[in-house]
């Protein structure tokens, strides 16, 4: 399909003014096109070839795509006037973000467009499991009338455990409440108070698994959530539990799900997403009590319409000189600023990553103090954004970037404050971060000379390169403590590469930082915590 829509702005004298040009290269809902009518000349060409796009892209200020068109580096390099690439949907795999960022082109998407649609699909799967709808359908079509075979359960009064209370999880809540369900929530990154105020039981994962009749997953796939539901978790569940995954394949360990179903440990499962898609030779396909759909959680015309409207409005905002809300990539900074930002970003990233791995519970407050030269640096705000980005990215599905980090933090109730101090304690510059979370308070200080370096942890002086696997142990500085810890690690085949100790006075509280060659399993950390005089121990991987 190819057609032009020409719209001209007119000035006060009624004369035509130059209009911005937008190309819509994939089919999007007409409401999206209509949104742009008053601000741009719009070319809709949903058959445009890659070669033609490269040839013509220099004419355009904005491009809107879905998934057919690949906005490759080649396209971007030819795009001399392009200001924004808009993906009418969630994933941006078909856009070369790096190339766009290098060229200073914003990439936007519409992450909120599918939330209601996915929540509705989740409810559909819950109902299908509770009432065996797909089996019953098949049976009637086979000419049977087995009424007694399809005895179901009511949702009313049942407990729904929701893992992940983001955009989709919260939409599931309202729908499940309408069915009279009790809600339990596990999301360690959202303020418990806010959730409790909305009438949800906020619990730890174990309680959720133990007390829920139906469990539904709405977290992103991250290293932390990969196989979040495995053998141990199935063992905790009720005998008659159902589990639903409309999030991402890989969050449920499919082998362990198979075992749980095969042994009758749980009653059924519904999956819209799989570890390998499509699921070929997957033994889960053989269970009658497993309901499957081909990753269609987001597939409704309304979600597509909303995605088109959302990105068209983002394009409109950018063409009018405003700031869009769903920017996936970073703003461009001048080279002088970049020279300072680059090394200190690395430092900020490491310090943030350290803090997010050591803080207990969800982070509530982050205080950043820029010391020495950094106290004079005008674009400290960018470093603060880097810190927020690093803290939020591991826990959210939407990419958090330098543009949207403060908004995302604000929406999640995280308070961030920025301060300056001229004294950098003998260093040229220093970043100090104090973090308050539900269960702890942590402080870290670092500097950058040729590489990032941690110089204080919880006010104890150290001198540590933040890289590799580290064990941080808080203990009472009494004879034998360090030895016992070394022995325990040795027993588990964990080799200590380097060790540092920070203490204020002999016999008092002290901090030990060990670099180790192997990762430290959670049960070993628990054993370390039980050693005499050991106050706390935590492993981080930087
Ligand atoms: P979101 O970023 O709005 O919410 C994710 C929530 O998970 C956040 O509140 C976060 O705090 C929480 N979280 C992160 N790590 C956690 C952990 N370890 N334990 C518990 N909670 C944790 O994301 P969303 O838009 O609601 O999307 C949720 C999931 O749905 C994602 O995996 C997304 O990819 C998927 N999705 C699937 C489809 C589909 O077609 N089936 C469509 C859209 C989105």
Atom number of ligand 1 nearest to Cα 395: 14
**384 and 495 assigned to the same domain:** yes
Q: Please choose from 166, 173, 391 the residue to mutate so as to test ligand 1's pocket, defined by most ligand atoms within 8 A of CB.
A: 166
| CATH code of the domain in which 238 resides | 3.40.50.720
Give domain status of residue 328, yes or no.
Answer: no
265 vs 273: CA distance, rounded Å: 21
Identify which of 390, 331, 291 has the alpha carbon closest to the alpha carbon of residue 84.
Answer: 331
pLDDT score recorded for residue 389: 86
In a domain, 277, yes or no: yes
pTM: 0.72
How far, in Å, CA of 460 to CA of 204, rounded?
32
Find out whether the beta carbon of 400 lies less than 6 Å from any atom of ligand 1: no
* Domain enclosing residue 470, as ranges: 335-541
Task: Judge if 73 and 119 occupy the same domain.
Answer: no
DSSP summary character for residue 95: B
Residue 136 Cα, ligand 1 centroid: separation in angstroms?
31
541 CA from centroid of ligand 1 (Å): 23
Order the strands of the 2-5 sheet from edge to edge. Answer: 2-5, 40-45, 20-24, 62-65, 84-87, 106-108
Query: Is 169 a domain residue?
Result: yes
Active site residues: 248, 277, 295
CA geometry: angle 309, 312, 315, nearest 5 deg: 155
The pair of structure tokens assigned to 327 is 């920017």
In total, the chain counts a number of residues equal to 542
CA distance 524 to 488: 8
Q: What is the token pair recorded at 265?
A: 């440990």
Tokens 């070839």 sit on residue: 49
Check whether residue 157 and residue 212 sit in a common domain: yes
Lowest mean pLDDT: which of 33-37, 172-176, 338-342? 338-342
Which positions ≥6 away from 450 have C-beta within 8 Å? none
Spacing, Cα 199 to ligand 1 middle (Å): 21
Q: What is the pLDDT confidence band of residue 2, given thresholds at 50, 70 and 90?
A: very low
8 A C-beta contact, residue 209 and residue 242: no
Question: How does pLDDT run across 177-232, given as a tens digit for each residue?
Answer: 999 999 999 998 887 777 887 788 899 999 999 999 999 999 999 989 999 999 99
- Residue 119 and residue 80 share a domain: no
3-state secondary structure labels for all residues of 290-331: EEECCCCCCCCHHHHHHHHHHHHHHHHHHHCCCCCCCECCCC
With beta carbons less than 8 A apart as the criterion, state whether 262 and 290 touch.
no
The CA 164 to ligand 1 mean position distance, Å, reads 6
Atom of ligand 1 nearest to the CA of 248: 32
Q: How does the average pLDDT of the chain come out, rounded?
A: 90
Whether ligand 1 lies within 6 angstroms of the CB of 114 is answered as: yes
Assess if residue 297 is contained within a domain.
Answer: no
Rounded average pLDDT over 115-142: 97
CA 66–ligand 1 middle distance (angstroms): 21
Residue with tokens 């396909």: 285
What pLDDT does residue 146 have? 94
Return the percentage of the chain with pLDDT > 90, whole number: 68
- Does the beta carbon of 219 sit less than 6 angstroms from any atom of ligand 1? yes
Q: Which of 110, 114, 125, 168 to mutate to test the pocket of ligand 1 (most atoms within 8 A of CB)?
A: 168
How close is the Cα of 112 to the center of ligand 1, in Å? 11
From edge to edge, which strands make up the β-sheet containing 363-372?
Answer: 415-421, 363-372, 429-437, 441-448, 452-457, 460-464
Q: Is 298 in the pocket of ligand 1 (CB under 6 A)?
A: yes
Sign of CA dihedral 168, 30, 59, 81: negative
Domain shared by 118 and 266, yes or no: yes
Q: Assess contact for 166 and 396: CB atoms under 8 A.
A: yes
Q: Is the Cβ–Cβ distance between 172 and 122 less than 8 Å?
A: yes
pLDDT tens-place string over residues 477-489: 888 898 999 999 9
Atom of ligand 1 nearest to the CA of 298: 40
The answer to whether residues 287 and 348 belong to one domain is no
124 lines ligand 1 (CB under 6 A): no
Indicate whether 93 and 191 sit together in one domain. Answer: no
Residue 99 belongs to some domain of the structure = yes
Q: Tell me what pLDDT residue 56 has.
A: 97
**Tens digit of pLDDT for each residue in 379-419?**
898 899 889 988 888 878 766 767 667 778 888 888 999 99
CA of 181 to the centre of ligand 1 (A): 21
Residue nearest to atom 39 of ligand 1 (CA): 297
Q: Which atom of ligand 1 is nearest to the CA of 121?
A: 41
Does the CB atom of residue 516 touch ligand 1 within 6 A? no
Q: Does ligand 1 have an atom closer than 6 angstroms to the CB of 165?
A: yes
What residues contact 375, with CB distance under 8 A and at least 6 apart?
A: 420, 421, 422
User: Are 336 and 379 in contact, with CB atoms under 8 Å apart?
Assistant: no
Does 8 score more than 60 pLDDT? no
- Cite the DSSP H helix spans in 132-266: 133-141, 167-178, 192-197, 205-211, 231-236, 254-262
pLDDT given for residue 508 in this prediction:
84
Confidence of residue 6 (pLDDT cuts 50, 70, 90): very low
Could you tell me if 152 and 219 lie in one domain? yes
- How many other C-beta atoms are found inside a 10 Å radius of the C-beta of residue 111? 22
Query: 133 lies in a domain?
Result: yes
Q: How confident is the model at residue 309 (pLDDT cuts 50, 70, 90)?
A: very high
Higher pLDDT: 15 or 44? It is: 44
SS3 228: coil
**Could you identify the residue written with the tokens 């819509």?**
24
Task: Indicate the range of 132-146, 174-188, 491-505 predicted with least confidence.
Answer: 491-505
Q: Give Cβ neighbours of residue 112 (< 8 Å, ≥ 6 apart).
A: 167, 306, 310, 326
Nearest Cα neighbor of 531 from 493, 474, 458, 462 is 474
Task: Name which of 396-410, 428-442, 519-533 the model is least confident about.
Answer: 396-410
- pLDDT tens string 153-185: 999 999 999 999 999 999 999 999 999 999 999
> What pLDDT is attached to residue 1?
41
Query: For residue 436, how far is its CA from the centre of ligand 1 (angstroms)?
Result: 24
Q: Please give the pLDDT value at position 159.
A: 98
Could you tell me the CATH number of the domain that includes residue 364? 3.30.1330.90
The listed range with the strongest mean pLDDT (10-14, 18-22, 334-338) is 18-22
| Same domain as 374, residue 226 | no
In a domain, 253, yes or no: yes
Q: Do 466 and 433 touch, CB atoms closer than 8 A?
A: no
Ligand 1 site, residue 266, Cβ cutoff 6 A: no
Q: Report d(CA 164, CA 160) in Å as an integer.
A: 12
| Residues 494 and 377 both lie in one domain | yes
Which atom of ligand 1 is found nearest the CA of 168?
A: 26
pLDDT exceeds cutoff 70 at 456: yes
330 found inside a domain: no
Ligand 1 within 6 A of CB of 224: yes
User: Of ligand 1's atoms, which has the minimum distance to the CA of residue 112?
Assistant: 25
Give the Å distance between the CA of 398 and the centre of ligand 1: 8
Q: Are 170 and 77 found together in one domain?
A: no
DSSP string over 232-295? HHHHHS-TT-EEEE-S-TTSB-HHHHHHHHHTTSSSEEEES--SSSS-TT-GGGG-TTEEE-SS
The pLDDT confidence band at residue 245, using thresholds 50, 70 and 90, is very high
For ligand 1, pick from 395, 401, 413, 437 the residue to mutate: most ligand atoms within 8 Å of CB.
395
392 with 521, same domain: the answer is: yes
Total domains in the fold of the chain: 3
Instruction: Report residue 16's pLDDT band, with 50, 70 and 90 as the boundaries.
Output: low
Q: Is 167 in the pocket of ligand 1 (CB under 6 A)?
A: yes
């Amino acid at each position: 399909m190819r057609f032009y829509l020409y719209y001209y702005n007119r000035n006060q004298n009624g004369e035509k003014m130059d209009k911005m040009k937008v190309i819509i290269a994939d089919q999007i809902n007409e409401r999206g096109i209509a949104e742009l009518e008053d601000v741009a000349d719009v070319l809709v060409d949903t058959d445009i070839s890659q070669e033609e796009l490269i040839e013509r892209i220099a004419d355009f200020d904005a491009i809107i795509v879905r998934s057919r068109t690949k906005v490759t580096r080649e396209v971007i390099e030819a795009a001399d006037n392009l200001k924004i690439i808009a993906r009418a949907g969630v994933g941006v795999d078909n856009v070369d973000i790096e190339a766009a960022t290098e060229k200073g082109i914003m990439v936007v998407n519409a992450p909120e467009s599918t939330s209601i649609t996915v929540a509705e699909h989740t409810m559909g799967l819950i109902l299908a499991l509770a009432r065996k709808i797909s089996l019953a359908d098949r049976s009637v079509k086979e000419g049977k009338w087995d009424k007694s075979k399809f005895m179901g359960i009511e949702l009313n009064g049942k407990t729904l455990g929701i893992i992940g209370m983001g955009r989709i999880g919260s939409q599931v809540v309202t729908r499940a409440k309408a069915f009279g369900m009790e809600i339990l929530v596990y999301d360690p990154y959202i303020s418990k108070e806010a959730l409790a105020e909305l009438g949800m039981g906020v619990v730890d994962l174990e309680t959720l698994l133990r007390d829920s009749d139906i469990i539904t997953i709405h977290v992103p796939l991250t290293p932390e959530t990969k196989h979040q539901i495995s053998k141990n978790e199935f063992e905790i569940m009720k005998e008659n539990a159902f589990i639903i995954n409309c999030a991402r394949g890989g969050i449920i360990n499919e082998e362990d799900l198979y075992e749980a179903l095969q042994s009758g440990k749980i009653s059924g499962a519904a999956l819209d997403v799989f570890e390998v898609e499509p699921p070929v030779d997957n033994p889960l396909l053989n269970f009658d009590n497993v309901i499957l759909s081909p990753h269609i959680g987001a597939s409704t015309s309304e979600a597509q319409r909303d995605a088109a409207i959302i990105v068209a409005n983002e394009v409109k905002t950018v063409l009018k000189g405003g700031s869009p809300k769903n920017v996936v990539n970073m703003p461009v900074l001048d080279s002088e600023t970049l020279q300072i930002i680059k090394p200190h970003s690395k430092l900020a990233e490491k310090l943030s990553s350290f803090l997010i791995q050591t803080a207990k519970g969800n982070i509530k407050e982050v205080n950043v103090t820029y010391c020495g030269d950094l106290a004079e640096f005008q674009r400290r705000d960018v470093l603060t954004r880097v810190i927020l980005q690093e803290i939020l990215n591991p826990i959210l599905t939407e990419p958090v970037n330098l543009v949207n980090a403060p908004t995302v933090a604000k929406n999640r109730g995280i308070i961030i404050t920025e301060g300056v101090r001229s004294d950098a304690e003998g260093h040229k510059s220093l970043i100090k971060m104090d973090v308050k979370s539900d269960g702890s308070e942590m402080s870290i200080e670092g500097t950058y000379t040729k590489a990032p370096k941690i110089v204080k942890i919880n006010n104890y002086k150290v001198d540590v390169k933040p890289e590799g696997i580290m064990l941080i142990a808080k203990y009472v500085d009494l004879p034998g403590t360090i030895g016992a810890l070394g022995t325990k690690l040795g027993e588990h085949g964990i080799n200590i590469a380097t060790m540092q100790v920070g203490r204020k006075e002999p016999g008092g509280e002290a901090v030990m930082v060990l670099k180790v060659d192997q990762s430290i399993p959670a049960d070993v950390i628990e054993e370390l915590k039980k050693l005499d005089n050991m106050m706390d121990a935590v492993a981080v991987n930087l």
